[in-house]
Structure 1
Amino acid sequence: MKIKSILYKAESNSHWLEDQPEICYPNSFEESIHLPKIMGQGDIRAIHIRQGIHLYLFNQKPLQTIIIEAQKPDGLLEIDFLVSGQIRLYGINRKDYCDGASGKSCLTLSKPTSDFGLSKDCPTLYAVLYIHPDLLREEMDGGHILAKGLSRQVEGLQDTFNHLSSVTDSMHLVLKQILDCPYVNSLRRLYLEGKIYELLAMRLEQLITRDKSINSFRIGSQDIEKVEYAKELLVRQMESPPSLIELAKQVGLNDFKLKKAFREITGTTVFAYLRGQRMEKARLLLEQGDMNVTEVTFQVGYQNPSHFAAVFKKQFGVLPSSII
């Protein structure tokens, strides 16, 4: 990944402004990228352990809403870890975007261009690991380390493949150990390489476990359509959502199959998905500035403003009152 420039909105100016990051090289395999002080605190670290494996760590508290314009390596396996905070991933020319969910990890194939945004006053810890597919073409326990779906993606037989999972406490610990590495010089490189491979092993294990689950629990095209319909109903009825049994009846599945299929397809549970959608709508309403926190609380289906504030802070790292 090459960071080309950074756009930001200052308090006194509603237009996007552009600035360049400051880059220093503490050793032969690391870069430390600092944003201008007007934009925020923290840094971006790039670790290039060897050819074909790179880790980027974003440890930021932006003082302004910023967009980082980045050029990514094309055709590598990309694994994102949003440990805390909030990140907005943009499509080509920033016409489309999606918001990353805190505590989630996405495994996909990298695209050459992808800008992403960080929200003002929202502390964010975000890591991106890039691996060349050839480094993973080794056998493990008598089978290919890559699941079949990922193998087809790497070989260009699928245009869209992604696997969503949770950032576990163990992954969080390894990322913190990378940030706090106590060694220098060659020992530092050895330590960081070991930790990066440990992180990779944890994440691929989630993928392999998921593929074994899918092999024992078949999901048909009609089930996929019903899960998509269930997602639509949850968003439409988030103020007063149906119970799991009611939702299953509405989409034409039993509750057990809905739970299993929903998790396999989306990578999360029914009500974790609902919570995430509620929080995204709440953030949007707060940013629009037409409602106070209590009004937004009820608008997205919560009855207790204190509970809503706690869930919101867990999702985005800040209290809802700081968004207004």
Structure 2
Amino acid sequence: MPGSDHSGLKSMHASPSAAPDQTASGLLVSDVLYGQAPQQLDPGCACYSITRIIEDGLELFQWSGLFEVVKEIQILDDSNRICFSFNSCATGGAKCSYVDGGQREYDIDDNSGRIQYGPGRRGTYCQQGAIHSLSVLIHPDLFESWVGEGQAEFKRLMAEGGVLDGYRGGELRATARMLHRALVSPAEAGAAAGERHPLWLRGQCMTFVSLFLEEHAAASATEVSALDRRRLMRARDRLLEDLSRPPVLADLAREAGLSPSSMNRGFRKLFGASPFALFQRERMVAARQRLLAGDEPVLSIAADFGYTNASHFSEMFRKQFGLLAGEIRRTR
């Protein structure tokens, strides 16, 4: 267990910061996590971070950064944490590259997650535009107490360092947003007075991590080649690009370089659902978020998601969540 890594730190840190000055050793990840990074602002650069220590070895971290021009930052990961991250509301682009370990370069995409571990790894973080990231960070000993030794790929990640990326899905996205609201605006996340209870935060952190592990296990259990996996991931991104209008499946398959039948089989193996079922599920998840977020008329939300008949929309909603669309707000 990680007993005293940062025992003297406050449980909450929120501070405006910026792309700090680069040093010979690089920006320490622990300095970013615990608010010790330099506060000098470059023109056109602004960052904001919040860290909540849930328990020894478990932290919740929210980071937002806006760089008007391309900014490169040398980094050194000294955190000794497994990082489960989800990026959302990205209006720019970012990538990270390391000089050692597995998967030495990866892109940071909108509405996507990754698992990362690399104590002692040096690299370069490059960003332009705005990116928001929600991360749960776990000490390896605590992670092992949760899940045991895990799968071979996790053992390799722990031994060599590296990144597992490409994690997506409506439930993962919704959990990340809920945790974000709990840090930034607890009242919006359902807290009656002040911050959410530590047990609630711990439970949501565990849920967040479990969604990564479930998707990883499902993907590992399939027999999809690396090439077809990339094609299917591209097809899924295209499928979910506009939740108000599903693309024609034949066109989707052609764009991905697959036949319609192989795309259907691949979707069932990799994502556990046909393209249409996956589209419908993600559409209802997004609609549920809209319904819970405000008081928009159900008919207006239904129209935004491509339904001309509110009753049909509400019935499809009931099939997925067990409640009619108009009833879901009573659960807030």
Q: How does 1:137-152 map to 2 (within 5 A)?
A: 137-138=144-145, 144=147, 147-149=150-152, 151-152=154-155
1:130 aligns with 2:144: no
Matched-pair contact (CA < 8 Å) for 1:7–1:67 = no
Matched-pair contact (CA < 8 Å) for 1:174–1:195 = no
1:101 aligns with 2:106: no
Q: CA deviation at 1:82?
A: 0.9
Instruction: Supply the distance in 2 between the matched residues of 1:136 and 1:63 (Cα, whole angstroms).
Output: 37
1:211/1:145 Cα in 2 relative to 1: closer, same or farther (>3 Å)?
farther
Q: CA deviation at 1:174?
A: 1.3
- Secondary structure class of the residue paired with 1:6: coil
Match of 2:122 among 113, 122, 125: 113
Structure 2 equivalent of residue 89 of structure 1: 95
- Secondary structure class of the residue paired with 2:43: coil
1:153 aligns with 2:194: no
Instruction: Supply the distance in 2 between the matched residues of 1:248 and 1:150 (Cα, whole angstroms).
Output: 27
1:6 aligns with 2:6: no
Instruction: Supply the distance in 2 between the matched residues of 1:63 and 1:105 (Cα, whole angstroms).
Output: 24
Cα distance per residue 1:37-69 (max 9 Å; x no partner): 623344233445554334443223334432333
Cα distance per residue 1:93-142 (max 9 Å; x no partner): 69x854311111111323522332331xx332223332111112335xxx
Structure 2 equivalent of residue 219 of structure 1: 223
Structure 1 equivalent of residue 166 of structure 2: 164
What's the TM-score, normalizing by structure 1?
A: 0.52
Instruction: Supply the distance in 2 between the matched residues of 1:64 and 1:229 (Cα, whole angstroms).
Output: 32
- Secondary structure class of the residue paired with 2:48: strand
1:63/1:194 Cα in 2 relative to 1: closer, same or farther (>3 Å)?
farther
Cα distance per residue 1:249-303 (max 9 Å; x no partner): 8579623222234548xxxx999xxxxxxxxxxxxxxxxxxxxxxxxxxxxxxxx
Q: Specify the code of the residue in structure 1 equivalent to 2:95.
A: L
Cα distance per residue 1:166-194 (max 9 Å; x no partner): 34223212112212358xxxxx9985854
Q: How does 1:1-324 map to 2 (within 5 A)?
A: 6=20, 31=35, 34-36=39-41, 38-73=43-78, 75-85=80-90, 86-92=92-98, 97-111=105-119, 112-119=121-128, 122-138=129-145, 144=147, 147-149=150-152, 151-153=154-156, 156=159, 162-166=164-168, 167-180=172-185, 191=196, 193-194=198-199, 196-210=201-215, 213-214=218-219, 218-219=222-223, 223-228=225-230, 243-246=251-254, 250=258, 254-261=262-269, 263=271
1:92/1:202 Cα in 2 relative to 1: closer, same or farther (>3 Å)?
same
Cα distance per residue 1:203-229 (max 9 Å; x no partner): 2221343355357x5315xx3344456
Q: CA deviation at 1:197?
A: 2.5
Matched-pair contact (CA < 8 Å) for 1:30–1:48 = no
Q: Alpha carbon RMSD of aligned pairs, Å? A: 5.0
- Secondary structure class of the residue paired with 1:70: strand
Matched-pair contact (CA < 8 Å) for 1:35–1:43 = no
- Secondary structure class of the residue paired with 1:91: strand
1:59/1:193 Cα in 2 relative to 1: closer, same or farther (>3 Å)?
farther
Instruction: Supply the distance in 2 between the matched residues of 1:213 and 1:254 (Cα, whole angstroms).
Output: 18
What's the TM-score, normalizing by structure 2?
A: 0.51
Q: In terms of mean alpha carbon deviation, does 163-172 or 129-138 score higher?
A: 163-172
Matched-pair contact (CA < 8 Å) for 1:46–1:55 = yes
1:163/1:147 Cα in 2 relative to 1: closer, same or farther (>3 Å)?
farther
Matched-pair contact (CA < 8 Å) for 2:44–2:67 = yes
Matched-pair contact (CA < 8 Å) for 1:6–1:69 = no
Q: CA deviation at 1:162?
A: 1.4
Q: Which runs of 5+ in 2 are unaligned?
A: 1-16, 188-192, 237-248, 280-332
**Percent of paired sites with the same residue:** 6
Instruction: Supply the distance in 1 between the matched residues of 2:107 and 2:261 (Cα, whole angstroms).
Output: 29
Matched-pair contact (CA < 8 Å) for 2:88–2:133 = yes
Count of residue pairs brought into register by the alignment? 231
Matched-pair contact (CA < 8 Å) for 1:248–1:258 = no
Matched-pair contact (CA < 8 Å) for 2:113–2:166 = yes
